[in-house]
Structure 1
Amino acid sequence: MRLLVARPWKCGLVIRLIFILTIIFPVIPEVGAQEVIVNPDAPEMKLTRSTLRAIFSMRLRTWPDGSLIKVFVLSDNSPLHIQFSKKILNIFPYQLRRTWDRLVYSGTGQAPIEVDSIKEMGNKVASTPGAIGYLPGGNTDFRVRVVEKAMGAKR
């Protein structure tokens, strides 16, 4: 008769493997819906995905009325920034960073203004003429305007 003996080293190995995998492939929490917001003084218009991508990659620098666009973003490792880049702009955050770095280091442009929190994002967009940024769905207030995205903007 064979006795079933627990092998504690196998359990420890599985736990260590799971721990290592979570470090290598971190789970990014799902943020939910994101909304693109602008300063109320910005021209009212629908924005397509390609227009938003041009604005946030700093290629489009002025609104249709000629006023300057001030772009605000969260840090590269912020879950909201990651989800916004992937779902709204349909590009990876590292691609945005690479574009911004190329503009800065070549002397042909500037990177967007980085804010530290969602609250600061709302305050900066509300108080800066021509500003654009993003917030989680439901976090907007009367001080900013939510941009309507044009239909058919998906690729």
Structure 2
Amino acid sequence: MRHGLLAALLALCWPSLAAADESPVLVAHPDVRTVHLTRDTTRAIFAMRQRTWPDGQAVRVHVLSNNDPVHGRFVKERLAVYPHQLQLAWDRMVFSGTGQAPTRVFSQAEMLDRIANTPGALGYLEREYLDDRVQVISVE
């Protein structure tokens, strides 16, 4: 009850702060050494153009389906692109044989499990799904 009231007050007083709190966050496997990424680097990783972390470890990207509202919010708010733009980039790479699409998961619970158990994994979750099995990566 308190959380709902607090969220409503935040939305009324500071809409941008309340919206930022609701945005899905970038999460990675706990052994990933990177803790900050730029928006451009994050976008390149999710577009499958950058396939390694800055330390050289392979990135294993996980995403929800294009029609999932959490996927839409993450892509628009954190990457500043639309879901169909990412899908077009993935399709081009797959059909040309130059790359592959990210691993698709069906729920945030599955996303949490995959990120927690896949070395080098990267994905996104709403804050309510976070636990100590994954680390949050900040996007600057």
**TM-score of the pair, normalised by structure 2:** 0.83
User: Which whole-Å deviations, capped at 9, do the CAs of 1:1-40 have from their partners, x for residues lacking one?
Assistant: xxxxxxxxxxxxxxxxxxxxxxxxxxxxx99221100001
The 8 Å contact of residues 26 and 123 in structure 2, kept in 1 or not, is answered as yes
Which of the numbers 123, 126, 139 marks the counterpart of 2:113? Answer: 123
In structure 1, the partner of 2:60 is 70
Residue of structure 2 in register with 1:137 after alignment = 127
Give the secondary structure class of the aligned counterpart of 1:148: strand
SS of the equivalent of 1:134 reads strand
Identity of aligned residues (%): 48
Partner letter of residue 98 of structure 2? T
Aligned pairs, how many? 121
Q: What SS does the corresponding residue of 2:22 show, helix, strand or coil?
A: coil
Aligned-partner Cα distance in 1 for 2:103–2:137: 19
What does residue 92 of structure 2 align with?
A: 102
RMSD: 1.4
2:25 counterpart letter in structure 1: E
**5+ residue gaps in structure 1?**
1-29, 151-155
Residue in 2 that maps onto 1:54:
44
Candidates 17, 33, 43, aligned match of 2:23: 33
Q: 1:80-137, CA deviations, whole angstroms, 9 ceiling, x for partnerless residues?
A: 0011111000000000000000000000000000000000000000000000000012
Query: Which of the two has greater helix per residue?
Result: 2
**Counterpart residue type for residue 24 of structure 2:** Q
For residue 45 of structure 1, report the CA deviation from its aligned partner.
Answer: 3.0
